[in-house]
Amino acid sequence: MEIPVHLVGKAPGVLNGGSLRFPKRKLRVKALPANLPDFFNADISKLKIGSKLFVTDIDSNNCTFLHPDNTVVAQVRMSRNATAEIEDEEEETEETAAEAEAPAATE
C-alpha cells in the first residue's frame, strides 16, 4: 500500500537559496492493517544545501518499506540564483584580495 509523506520543519538550505526536491510523495509499505499509518512525517529541519533525506531516516512505525534503503525522499539542491550569488561573492573577494596585494607589491 502507498502511504503519503508529510514534510515537517523548514530546511536551512532552502532558506539560504537552495531548492527543495520532493520526489517521493508516497512510499510503498508492507504491514498489518492495524499498523498502517495515515501518513509518515519526514523532518527536513536539518537539510542543508546538498543534503538528502533517505527512506531509512523516516520512522517506519512497524512497517516495512518496499523501496531500497538509498531511495531519496527529499533533498535540497543548489538553485541557479544561489550559484550566481556565490560566484559573484567569490569574484568580489578575489578582486579585493588582488587590490590589497597590489599596493604592497609596489612598496
36-46: pLDDT as tens digits: 999 999 999 99
Report the C-alpha gap between 27 and 7 in whole angstroms: 13
The correct CATH number of 2-78 out of 3.90.580.10, 1.10.10.10, 2.170.120.20, 3.40.50.1370 is 2.170.120.20
Q: What is the mean pLDDT of the chain?
A: 83
Grid coordinates in use for 30?
508492507
pTM above 0.85, yes or no: no
Other CB atoms within 10 A of residue 41 CB = 13
* Per-residue pLDDT, 100: 54
Please report the pLDDT score of residue 85 as a whole number. 44
Instruction: State residue 60's pLDDT score.
Output: 87
Q: Which three cell numbers stand for residue 74?
A: 527529499
Q: Where are the domains of the chain?
A: 2-78
Length of the chain: 107
